[in-house]
């Protein structure tokens, strides 16, 4: 409860869409930005790092503060269990039953992840594709007559 500064940085989103760094009373850009720099260095997202500093009587100066916050964030991230996930694009593939064999052949050839299927009057198959392969897969299904593919937001 006697801690003087709770400095933090966070980053959210698949493409690092949202972020913030806060110095909490420390000199400008001496705490939050060094922590945020470590988030970028480790290429992590959906994360919050808080460094709590208790003033022990020794003034570190701006350079010392930058080094202290940066090193602390680095050590915390190195000790963390970081989960690696792929960025995927979701598609809905719609076809009639006679075209189902063609669709399933592409799914099997490309080893695609089927997340859901709705087989009623027509067939709707939901697939998840790695983002770097998404355009190729889209073109593959777009090239099959009678098959409709659309990206799900």
- Which CATH number goes with the domain that contains 97? 3.30.70.120
What confidence score (pLDDT) does residue 16 get? 81
First to last CA, the chain: 44
- Structure tokens, 30: 């001496």
Residue that finishes a domain, picked among 79, 99, 128: 79
pTM: 0.69
DSSP structural state of residue 131: G
User: Where in the sequence is the domain holding 62, given as residue range(s)?
Assistant: 5-79
Instruction: Write down the pLDDT at residue 66.
Output: 96
Listed as ranges, residues in the chain with pLDDT below 70 are none
Give 91-108 pLDDT, tens digit per residue.
Answer: 999 999 999 999 999 999
Contact 50, 38 (CB under 8 A): no
pLDDT at 13: 87
Query: What's the pLDDT at 21?
Result: 97
In the chain, how many domains are there? 2
Tokens of 23: 């110095």
96 near 144, Cβ under 8 Å?
Answer: no
* Boundary (domain end) residue, out of 46, 79, 112: 79
Residue 120 in tokens: 């009623």
């Amino acid at each position: 409860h006697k801690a003087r500064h709770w400095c933090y940085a966070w980053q959210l989103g698949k493409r690092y869409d949202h972020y913030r760094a806060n110095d909490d009373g420390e000199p400008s850009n001496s705490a939050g930005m060094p922590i945020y720099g470590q988030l970028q260095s480790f290429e992590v997202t959906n994360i919050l790092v808080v460094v709590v500093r208790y003033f022990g009587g020794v003034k570190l100066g701006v350079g010392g503060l930058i080094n202290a916050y940066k090193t602390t964030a680095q050590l915390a991230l190195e000790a963390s269990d970081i989960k690696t996930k792929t960025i995927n694009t979701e598609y809905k593939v719609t076809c009639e039953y006679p075209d189902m064999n063609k669709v399933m052949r592409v799914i099997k050839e490309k080893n695609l992840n089927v997340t859901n299927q709705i087989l009623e009057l027509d067939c709707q198959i939901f697939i998840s594709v790695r983002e770097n392969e998404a355009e190729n897969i889209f073109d593959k299904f777009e090239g099959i007559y009678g098959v409709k593919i659309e990206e799900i937001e």
